[in-house]
Amino acid sequence: MWFKNLQVFRLTQPWRITGDELHAQLAKIQFSQVASNEMQSQGWDSPRGNDQLVHAVNKQFLLSLATEKKLLPSSVINQVTKARALELEEEQGFAPGRKAMTELKERITEELLPRAFGVKTKTAVWIDPVNRWLLIDASSPSKADEVIKLLLKCCDKLPLEGLRTQTSPQAAMTGWLAGNEAPKGFTIDQDTELKSSTEDKATVRYVRYTLEPDDTQKHISAGKQCTKLAMTWDDKISFVLTDTLQIKRIKPLDVLEEGKDKGSNQDERFDADFVLMTAELASLLSDVVFALGGELT
């Protein structure tokens, strides 16, 4: 089980909460199936499908935030509301007013909710007390914010802040492209995005394209900065670094797949994969921070 994206947060103090203590705190907002009259339900769920809200392996914690949303498109609500409004108009001889339409729409929504189909999704959270990281497998900061807000409701005085580096990712990536040289331990891959800082936000994207120094120099000289850059770390993991310090499209390469412990059963294979992922991604993060000049304190 590998995270596909990393929203990165730093634990500012040593982590002293045990797995059992964290389980008890998360149980305050445990996931339950969305009720018939609700649009959404959200809470902490077991990462391994058992009664434990924290899966601990090798001093690493894995959590799972579950969200179940009812599929009730606004187009369906509007269609039924319009049909019901026509019926009312025929009965009473005049069309419902604005306030009546608002109330009718609310009633229609309440009627349709119990019949709407619920879709459940999960967002994985990895807490690394050893290296003091908190990582969320989410492609957008808004989803990470959901996780953090719920975590803060459960855990008192969580020592957490966003990762900040001495050199901004945008400045560093632009410099790497301008010099046609990746930092030590990394190689530059074929995808990149350069964006102008002017009002028009002119953007150039390269996808599966071997970057030529003349091409990138031309755009950089014109005032564009690198906002996304595909890279490979240590010939083990490919990823995309963004200007907001998100790490996306993480993919373990064959050298890791060949060397991992297969285990004798599903649980052992999962744990072996988790140990491998946490060890490699922690090293990757350390090298990314080093390449960006270290942490800003």
Taking only the tens place, the pLDDT of each residue in 172-195 is 999 999 988 999 999 999 899 999
Show the tokens assigned to 20: 């059992």
The residue count of the chain comes to 297
Q: Is 175 within a domain?
A: yes
Contact 183, 173 (CB under 8 A): no
Contact 112, 80 (CB under 8 A): yes
Q: Hey, which bits of 28-84 come out as E strands?
A: 40-45, 55-57, 60-71
Q: Is 120 within a domain?
A: yes
CB atoms under 10 Å from CB of 186, counted, come to 21
The answer on 233 and 192 residing in a single domain is yes
Q: Is 194 within a domain?
A: yes
**pLDDT, tens only, 139-152:** 999 999 999 999 99
The answer on 152 and 82 residing in a single domain is no
**pLDDT, tens only, 277-295:** 999 999 999 999 999 999 9
Q: Bridge-partner residues for 66, per DSSP?
A: 43, 122
Show the tokens assigned to 213: 């120094």
Contact 73, 109 (CB under 8 A): no
The answer on 271 and 186 residing in a single domain is yes
The answer on 148 and 61 residing in a single domain is yes
pTM of the predicted protein model: 0.86
| Per-range mean pLDDT, top range of 48-52, 163-167, 213-217, 219-223 | 163-167
In angstroms, rounded to a whole number, what is the distance separating the alpha carbons of residues 138 and 250? 11
Tell me which residue of 35, 61, 12 sits closest to 297, measured CA to CA. 12
In angstroms, rounded to a whole number, what is the distance separating the alpha carbons of residues 291 and 171? 12
pLDDT at 261: 60
